[in-house]
Amino acid sequence: MHKASPLLPTLLLAALIGLLPASVWAAVTGEEIYKEVLEGTDIYEDKKLQAYIVELGEEVVAQSEMAGEKFIFTLLDSPDLNAFATRDNYIYVNRGLLNYVSNEAQLVSVLAHEVGHITRNHVRGQEGQATGAKVLSTIAAVLSGSNEVYEAGMAYANSLIKGHGRRNELEADEAGAEYMAKLGYAPSEMISMLSIMKDYESLQKQRAKSRGAAKQTYHGIFASHPRNDSRLRTVVTKANAFKADISRGNGAERYRSLTNGLVWGENFLAKEQKSERFSDMQRRVRIDFPTDWVQDSADPQSLISASPEDKTAILRVQPIARTAQSPEEYLYNYLKVSQLRDSRAIAPARLKGFTGILPGTEGKPDSRIAVIYYKLNAYLFSGEVKDQASFAETDKLFLASINTFRPISSREIQGQRPQRVQYVKATSATTFAGLAKALKLSATDIEDLRIINGLYPSGEPVAGQWIKIFKR
């Protein structure tokens, strides 16, 4: 994951706490916000899901008052349950929201709601400052990791919501329900989505209370609505007047197909894998190459190699069968190394190893050679340069990389394999307690299972029902 940007503009921070007038806020473009968002969190790497979000979003726009205008839809790799719109027709959906959605119609209700904010001009000018504060506080929180920053921004956003903001939310609902109906989806799915959000909010408050923590408030989509909002039900009923000739149903089957395998919770692979790190999950070893060096796993002479872009140096790693000899004896006796300079024992991650400088011959530069034992393999390292004059400085990089070599722990293996959503069909014997036992899940996980399946707080699956589970 990208690191927090150290250069979050002062302009954005000032807008975050509501100190700037609308004229200054208007200077912040949708593209600038987009760049700030991607400084803090990545785009979710699933081309089919990205295309799916874009397809549905564009279909919604085609039914709106802004049909034909360009909208930018982005699926973010964030576990948070939320979606938001910014100026210049940018709409964002968090990956975490997809975990809680049960069908395509519910997803469309979210997209239609956000499109409604834009078509009703809620993200511009004075009235758009609530949405702007939401966006920028979210960005600041992601970039800084500070919940205090987030809450400060949200306090301002919520103060505006109490005024014109609640009206804006209802207007977005009204527009969104109309777009849904025109597309052939039941506007009532918007109410179903609201119920999911409220269950999520209730659970978060319950968990905060059990920890003795400060009361947590959900600030996301539909947050301003009570669970049984008569105004929303009125909006949904009115939208039925725009009902399309052909119903699309709820699109549950297509949604299951595209979200099967969706990451649940934190995406450890995206966040923890360093760009300079090579991990061999089969052999369970890893090594960190120098920053900005280019890795080549197709090198026929090695398991992996890396070099700077100008190819002036190269470090290769090759696993070969080890013997009963010590690493030093292995180099001299088995590999027939005739001479080493500055040779010594090494022990990266407490593994046995030996290294030294192999003097160049016939005008060739010196090279770094090392061997490290792990399980049944001897990992042979060879660091070469094109120019002897650069060897001394480059050799420091060789040694630093060699000393990062280590086994991948079980914890790292699990961390690089995030939990993913899978769909299973319930039988008459299926219970959430039984699923938790089989999947080695906790009581907290059971609560999450109930919510993502629309069965919170105490519901159980019925035979024949498709339900979501999450596992590694």
In a domain, 330, yes or no: yes
* DSSP string for residues in 147-214: HHHHHHHHHHHHHHIIIIIHHHHHHHHHHHHHHHHHHT--TTHHHHHHHHHHHHHHHHHHHHHHTTPP
Residues 393 and 304 in one domain: yes
Residues 95 and 185 in one domain: yes
Residues 360 and 453 in one domain: no
Residues 25 and 94 in one domain: yes
Residues 232 and 91 in one domain: yes
Q: What is the pLDDT along the chain (472 residues), one digit of tens a residue?
A: 443 333 333 333 333 323 333 443 445 788 988 887 887 688 999 999 999 999 999 999 999 999 999 999 999 998 888 888 888 999 999 999 999 999 999 999 999 999 999 999 887 643 344 444 444 554 544 444 444 444 444 444 444 444 446 788 899 999 999 999 999 999 999 999 999 989 998 888 888 777 665 555 555 677 777 778 888 899 999 999 998 989 999 999 999 999 999 999 877 665 556 778 898 878 889 999 999 999 998 878 899 999 999 999 999 999 999 999 999 999 999 999 989 999 999 999 889 999 999 999 888 999 999 999 999 999 999 999 999 999 999 999 999 999 999 998 766 665 567 889 999 999 999 999 999 999 988 888 999 999 999 999 999 999 999 999 998 7
In a domain, 1, yes or no: no
Q: Give the number of other CB atoms < 10 A from CB of residue 194.
A: 23
- The CB-side HSE value for 405 (13 A sphere, CA atoms) comes to 28
In a domain, 463, yes or no: yes
Residues 425 and 406 in one domain: no
Dihedral sign for Cα atoms in the order 223, 228, 231, 236: positive
In a domain, 4, yes or no: no
Residues 156 and 292 in one domain: no
Q: Which domain holds residue 453?
A: 419-471
Q: What is the pLDDT of residue 364?
A: 93
CATH number of the domain bearing residue 356: 3.40.1000.10
Out of 240, 262, 284, pick the residue that ends a domain: 262
d(CA 304, CA 296): 6
In a domain, 204, yes or no: yes
Cβ-proximal residues to 63 (8 Å cutoff; 6+ apart), any chain: 178, 179, 182, 183
Number of domains in the chain: 3
In a domain, 267, yes or no: no
d(CA 399, CA 372): 13
- For the whole prediction, is pTM greater than 0.75? no
In a domain, 425, yes or no: yes
Q: Which of 334, 393, 389, 381 is nearest to 356 (CA)?
A: 381
Angle at 395 between CA 389 and CA 399, to 5 degrees: 175
* DSSP string for residues in 21-50: -HHHHTTS-HHHHHHHHHHHSPBPS-HHHH
DSSP annotation of 332 reads I
Cβ-proximal residues to 288 (8 Å cutoff; 6+ apart), any chain: 274, 276, 277, 278, 401, 404
Q: Which residues pair with 372 in a beta bridge?
A: 353, 379
d(CA 387, CA 365): 6
Phi, psi at residue 350, to the nearest 5°?
65, 20
Q: The tokens of 209 are what?
A: 């209370």
In a domain, 269, yes or no: no
Residues 167 and 288 in one domain: no
Q: Give the number of other CB atoms < 10 A from CB of residue 427.
A: 11
Q: The tokens of 3 are what?
A: 């690191």
What Rg value do the Cα atoms of the chain yield, rounded?
A: 28
Out of 392, 413, 434, pick the residue that ends a domain: 413
CA 34 to each of CA 50, 79, 99, 145: distance values in angstroms, whole numbers, following the listed order = 16, 18, 23, 18
Residues 453 and 378 in one domain: no
Residues 289 and 248 in one domain: no
Q: What is the pLDDT of residue 290?
A: 94
Residues 282 and 242 in one domain: no
Angle at 180 between CA 218 and CA 230, to 5 degrees: 55
Q: What is the pLDDT of residue 156?
A: 44
Out of 413, 433, 458, pick the residue that ends a domain: 413
Residues 235 and 124 in one domain: yes
